[in-house]
Amino acid sequence: MITSGCSQSDRVRRPPGSRSAGWPRWGAAVATAGVLAVGFLGGGVPWLTGPAADAQPAPTATAVPVAPWLELPRLPTPSRPVQPRGTRDRVAAAGPGAVLAWGINSDGQLGDATYLDTSTAVAVQGLSGVTALTAGLYHSLALRRDGSVVAWGLNNFGQLGDGTNTTRNVPGPVALALAPGDTAVAIAAGAGHSLALTASGAVYAWGTNGDGQLGDGTVNPRPVPVQVRNPANTGHLTNVVAIAAGGFHSLAVAGDGTVYAWGGNGVGQLGDGTTTPRVQAVPVLNLTGITAVAAGAYHSLALGPDFPPPTVTPQPTATTPYAPPATTTGFLVPITPVRVLDTRSGFGGPIGFDGATGNPITAAPFQEGDLRSYRVAGKTFQGVPIPAGAKGVNFNVTAVQAGPTGGFVTVFPGGASLPATSSLNPSGVTGITANAGFTGLDAVGNLQIKSVGGVRDIILDVTGYYQ
């Protein structure tokens, strides 16, 4: 896994509640792939330095006053000399697990034992057996096959994790003090902090900590790795399966799909319903079943299962408002409306698929009190497929006629009990009454229709499905 990037923007922005002391020069965007992700200043905008930027108070467990965002004119692209390189360095990177680097090298972040920028790839010195990479603002990390972590580049806040503040232009070991048998399995880098996930599910962090991005309960920089604290601050975060580092915040996914976040939160990037910085992990609200996370400079992403669709509230008829049946889960896939049932003769029907067999049937008009099951998922109507496994459908149901006192049509999931509320209450003896609705489907893709009160001909059109 390899991640890095660099660009410039027209403005300099520092988000509310974030500190910038010690960040010189221009900015560089950083992003990761897969379950690791990090960004800085949203598109690589320069980092702000100076007294105004350093005036922010350190984050605490309570809310921190928010200052306005500051804007400066665009900074020029760095004009450091770019040195041409010979073929020897490039060829040296051909071995398995070797690492290549190119671009700015002001702090040795290319790891080639120089501080010379290069526009062609050069070999990071002394590395082999590497399985994952991540890049911070001015530092770099590599995970080796044996579970060890090495780092190189800027080290002003200890982001190399070697116990010093000495910048290095070649890789050196991160001082991860793990239990016997435990090894690192994932890494992530923020603007000036670093993370490692271990096989045991622990998360370690080191480097700058002005916004609490190390999650150790303090705002003190750490030149050696420390463990992230749990939300109750009674111990350490455990059972973690994925991590990500933003510019000044961090994310973790637990084995049960819960997401935790800590660090800067001036624009709500921790997802805890506040803009309060957090010095230890807090749960991200309203997320379950998450499998991966990613973080930009000041925003966060999560990958998970289908989420519940918004409540479907069809337009009511003139006679009776519609109370939808119990909803299901899934993403709505709108489709061109297709007719899945028509009991009328002479109008292109009768059509339908039997719920018991799934075979096409001649859908005869309903008799009083009829309860019928129809197969919808896994079938194709007018050339439009509704896939097997669909969890529910949006529909329009139409009653062509009803008894003198009105009738009732109820559309509900296959195998379910009849709901107390009908989907459609037609009132005319010969009128055509239509209404929109939603129903879930059973495991084989069936829905049921109940007709009472003299409703004989029913038309059902599907306008979308949930998967």
pLDDT in tens, the chain (467 residues): 544 333 333 222 344 444 444 443 333 333 333 222 223 333 332 233 333 333 333 333 333 332 333 333 333 444 455 554 433 333 233 456 789 999 999 999 999 999 999 999 999 999 989 999 999 999 999 999 999 999 999 999 999 999 999 999 999 999 999 999 999 999 999 999 999 999 999 999 999 999 999 999 999 999 999 999 999 999 999 999 999 999 999 999 999 889 999 999 999 999 999 999 999 999 999 888 888 999 999 999 998 765 544 444 444 344 433 333 444 456 778 888 888 888 876 555 547 788 788 788 877 888 888 899 999 999 888 888 899 988 889 888 888 777 777 788 899 999 899 888 888 888 765 567 778 888 889 999 999 999 888 888 888 889 888 87
Q: One-letter amino acid identity for 414?
A: G
SS3 348: coil
pLDDT at 343: 83
Please tell me the distance from the alpha carbon of residue 429 to that of residue 450, in angstroms, as a whole number: 18
> 40, 231, 180, 296: which is closest to 240 by C-alpha?
231
Residue 99: count other Cβ atoms within 10 Å of its Cβ. 23
Is 141 in contact with 193 (CB distance < 8 Å)? no
Quickly count: other Cβ atoms within 10 Å of residue 324's Cβ: 17
Do 41-303 and 332-466 share a fold?
no
User: Residue 301: what pLDDT?
Assistant: 95
Q: Which of 260, 254, 261 is nearest to 291 (CA)?
A: 254
List C-alpha distances in Å: 108 to 77, 102, 150, 154. 19, 11, 14, 7
Paired residues of 294 in beta bridges: 301
Give the fold, CATH level 3, of 332-466: Jelly Rolls (2.60.120)
Secondary structure element (H or E) that encloses residue 385, with its range: strand 384-386
Residue position matching structure tokens 């303090």: 218
**Which tokens hold the place of 224?**
């050696």
Domain 41-303 falls under CATH 3.30.70.100:
no
Contact status, residue 264 vs residue 18, Cβ threshold 8 Å: yes
Q: Calculate Rg over the CA atoms of the chain.
A: 30
Amino acid code (one letter) for 203:
V
pLDDT in tens, 420-435: 888 888 876 556 777 8
Rounded-to-integer distance, Cα 151 and Cα 112, Å: 12
d(CA 68, CA 263): 19
Give the E-state strand segments of 216-286 in sequence order. Answer: 222-227, 240-245, 249-254, 259-263, 278-283
Domain ranges in the chain?
Answer: 41-303, 332-466
Q: Give CA–CA dist 116/98, Å, rounded.
A: 20
Q: What is the pLDDT of residue 102?
A: 95
φ and ψ at residue 43, rounded to 5 degrees: 105, 15
- Helix (H) / strand (E) element for 446: namely strand 446-452
- In this prediction, residue 261 carries a pLDDT of 97
Which tokens go with 408?
């009732």
**pLDDT recorded at residue 444:** 92
- Does the pTM surpass 0.85? The reply is no
